[in-house]
Amino acid sequence: MATLYAMPDDIGNMTSLAQWGNSTLEGFLGILLLFVIFTVMFMVVVRKTEAGNAYATAMFITTIVAIMFKLLDIVDGTTLFICFVLAGLGYLIAGKSKTYY
């Protein structure tokens, strides 16, 4: 019986497990996790403030997580750059309002 994906060699810690999962999903594990984090944070924050501020807050937290994922080699530089650009757009959108979460 043949395996359809590479079996892990050494997954003794969470970093190795995340890197193996990312290689198994061909680099999309980090992107999927960032999308889930953004969606959950946006849905939580939008209940307490307006949509522009909720987007800025959720994107800021997602960018912080993307930096950590980059240090763990789960996402590449392009994904990190896109997170920074989207966070900047969020602060431009939320710049009209003075209240933040």
Window from 44-48, 64-68, 91-95 with minimum mean pLDDT: 91-95
The answer to whether 27 and 76 have CB atoms below 8 angstroms apart is: yes
Long-range contacts of 79-83 (CB under 8 A, 24+ apart): 79/30, 79/31, 79/34, 83/34, 83/59
Of 101 and 20, more confident: 20
Of 14 and 80, more confident: 80
The predicted structure's pLDDT at residue 38: 95
The predicted structure's pLDDT at residue 96: 63
Window from 63-67, 73-77, 78-82, 97-101 with minimum mean pLDDT: 97-101
Share of the chain above pLDDT 70, in %: 84
Task: Give the dihedral sign, CA 22/26/27/31.
Answer: negative
Task: Give the dihedral sign, CA 25/27/28/32.
Answer: positive
